[in-house]
Amino acid sequence: MNASDRTPADLLRSALAADPARPLVTFYDDATGERVELSVATFANWVAKTANLLQDGLSAEPGERVALLLPAHWQTAVWLVACASVGVVADVDGDPSPADHVVAGPDRLADGLACRGERLALSLAPLGRRFPAAPEGYDDYAVAAPSQGDVFAPYVPVDPDTPALTVAGEELTGAAVVERARADAERLGLGPGSRVLSALPYGSWEGLSAGLYAPLAAGASVVLCRNLDHLGADAWEKRVASERVTHTLR
């Protein structure tokens, strides 16, 4: 990645310029059997649509807070980089009551109603399917996002030295996220071609770094696994081999 990258959105732009076709996020949900693989280009397209939805659909402005009540999931990774693209703070598993907006998965819909701002619901169903009907008090992300533009430009340039992420009570600027991600990538020995299998939850910096930021900073890719306890030992070994995993964090 480029030494000048100072936000997660910068890291994604550099990855897109370097090799848009390479895999970036491969997601497994072993409770449903789902497998989704997103190239850098496909991931960036989802980020652009989500950032446009934030900026235009929710009228989110830099400095506002978005409570992300979501598990480790490929769509959560999209939201993290989309928030960084707009300049809003991604508050992972944050208190929705004071948040300006909330994005909730199916298990956290009741919690998210405490937010007085705009609310979006994610079904987290295979292939990003929509809900049969939007949950009460929410708009369905899978309905709202696809019509958004494929290219995103912020109305206000994002300042890398302003807050970008809150996780486990710690607030980080965009520049700090990139700096930590680079340090983690170096510590783990990640580089272009590395494949990180992570089963860590997204509720800590370690989980976010292993499951998104460090691979992105290193030009590597991540195999993000949810509900790994459903997977047997033989299937685990086959996955590690078939996905060409070089590093495992669980």
Say if residue 214's pLDDT is above 70. yes
Band (pLDDT 50/70/90 cuts) for residue 82 is very high
Please check the confidence at residue 110 and state whether its pLDDT lies above 90: yes
Model confidence at 20, in pLDDT bands (50, 70, 90)? very high
CATH of 8-249, one of 3.40.50.1000, 3.40.50.12780, 3.40.50.620, 3.30.565.10: 3.40.50.12780
Name the average pLDDT for the chain: 97
Q: Which pLDDT value is given to residue 2?
A: 81
pLDDT higher than threshold 80 for residue 177: yes
**Per-residue model confidence (pLDDT) at position 3:** 82
Look at residue 1 and tell me whether its pLDDT is greater than 80. no
Percent of all residues in the chain with a pLDDT value above 90, rounded to a whole number? 96
Which pTM does this prediction carry? Answer: 0.97
User: pLDDT tier at 69 (50, 70, 90 boundaries)?
Assistant: very high
Reply yes or no on whether the pLDDT at 83 is more than 70.
Answer: yes
Could you tell me the pLDDT band of residue 24, with boundaries at 50, 70 and 90? Answer: very high
Q: How sure is the predictor about 49, in pLDDT bands with cuts at 50, 70 and 90?
A: very high
Q: What is the pLDDT of residue 116?
A: 96
Q: How confident is the model at residue 127 (pLDDT cuts 50, 70, 90)?
A: confident
Domain ranges of the chain: 8-249
Gap between the Cα atoms of 12 and 149, Å rounded = 17
Annotate the chain with DSSP letters as a single string: --TT--SHHHHHHHHHHH-TTSEEEEEEETTTTEEEEEEHHHHHHHHHHHHHIIIIIS---TT-EEEEE--S-HHHHHHHHHHHHHT-EEEET--SSS-SEEEE-TTSHHHHTT--SEEEE----GGGPPPSSPPTT-EEHHHHSTTS-SS---SS---TTSEEEEETTEEEEHHHHHHHHHHHHHHHT--TT-EEEE---TTSHHHHIIIIIHHHHHT-EEEEEESGGGS-HHHHHHHHHHTT--EEE-
